[in-house]
């Protein structure tokens, strides 16, 4: 991986991590297009630059993270399903990360769902926030686990989980951002422990640049996403997912 490839991947991560279009799916596609999918350091890189994306949430919503202890209890409750299932199925999940076909199919399926999600949950139009109970947080946590399939989107799964439990679009999106912090931090730390030998003096600079770029781009993406989804809903994200999924599958068919 060279510097340009690292910057491109970091931009993809920053744009897609908090949008309901699957950051993992787009990273897999980007890896394959640049011919670096099989590189061990590349696999570590795409996980490590999540630190930059995590930092963007902490900076934008720092006041929320200074709230009561109950705020952290709810995040922990919502995080537990992904922690347990992710640990138990880690090898199987890793085996899916090279499947571009899976990404294409899941982008389409998720896109079709996003076309109708606003009408399925009419309370999502409400301007008033609902109290998030521990039970609601746990249910959202189980929704998030669906995103272990590449192409589903952690953001989409957790936001839909929030809307399915009575949250409005903005509240569901923001809770999804908050939940990303422990989820992504745990995944990144675990991967670093497993593959820390891949980090050398030569590629450490790529990780630093990647995290800086991911932080800047993710900060812009979060602000833009909240503005769009609060006003227009998820329809356009559904259209994008379907178009991207169809394009991916068509390219794969043409290559055979």
pLDDT single digits (tens) 143-186: 999 988 888 999 999 999 999 999 999 999 999 999 999 988 88
Record the pTM: 0.88
CA angle, corner 28, sides to 24 and 29, nearest 5? Answer: 120
Residue 220 has pLDDT above 90, yes or no: yes
User: 226 Cβ partners below 8 Å, 6+ apart?
Assistant: 170, 173, 174
| Residue 89 DSSP class | T
Please state which of the ranges 76-80, 108-112, 127-131, 242-246 shows the lowest mean pLDDT: 127-131
Residue 88 has pLDDT above 90, yes or no: no
Is 37 in a helix, a strand, or coil? coil
Residue 140 has pLDDT above 90, yes or no: yes
Q: Where are the domains of the chain?
A: 3-255
CA angle, corner 30, sides to 106 and 41, nearest 5? Answer: 110
Residue 113 has pLDDT above 90, yes or no: yes
């Amino acid at each position: 991986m060279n510097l340009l490839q690292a910057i491109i991947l970091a931009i993809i991560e920053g744009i897609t991590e908090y949008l309901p279009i699957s950051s993992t799916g787009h990273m897999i596609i980007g890896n394959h297009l640049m011919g670096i999918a099989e590189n061990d350091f590349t696999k570590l890189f795409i996980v490590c630059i999540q630190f930059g994306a995590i930092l963007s949430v902490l900076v934008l919503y720092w006041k929320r993270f200074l709230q009561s202890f109950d705020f952290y209890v709810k995040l922990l409750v919502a995080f537990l399903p992904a922690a347990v299932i992710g640990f138990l199925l880690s090898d199987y999940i890793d085996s899916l990360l090279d499947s571009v076909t899976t990404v294409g199919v899941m982008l389409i399926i998720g896109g079709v769902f996003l076309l109708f999600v606003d009408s399925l949950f009419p309370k999502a139009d409400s301007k008033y926030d609902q109290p998030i109970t521990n039970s609601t947080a746990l249910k959202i946590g189980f929704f998030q686990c669906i995103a272990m399939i590449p192409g589903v989107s952690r953001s989409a799964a957790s936001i839909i989980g929030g809307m399915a439990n009575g949250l409005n679009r903005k509240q569901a999106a923001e809770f999804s951002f908050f939940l990303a912090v422990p989820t992504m931090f745990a995944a990144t730390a675990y991967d670093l422990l497993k593959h820390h030998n891949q980090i050398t003096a030569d590629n450490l600079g790529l990780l630093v640049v990647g995290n800086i770029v991911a932080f800047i781009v993710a900060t812009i993406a979060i602000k833009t996403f909240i503005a769009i989804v609060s006003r227009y809903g998820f329809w356009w994200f559904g259209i994008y997912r379907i178009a991207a999924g169809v394009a991916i599958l068509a390219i794969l068919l043409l290559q055979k």
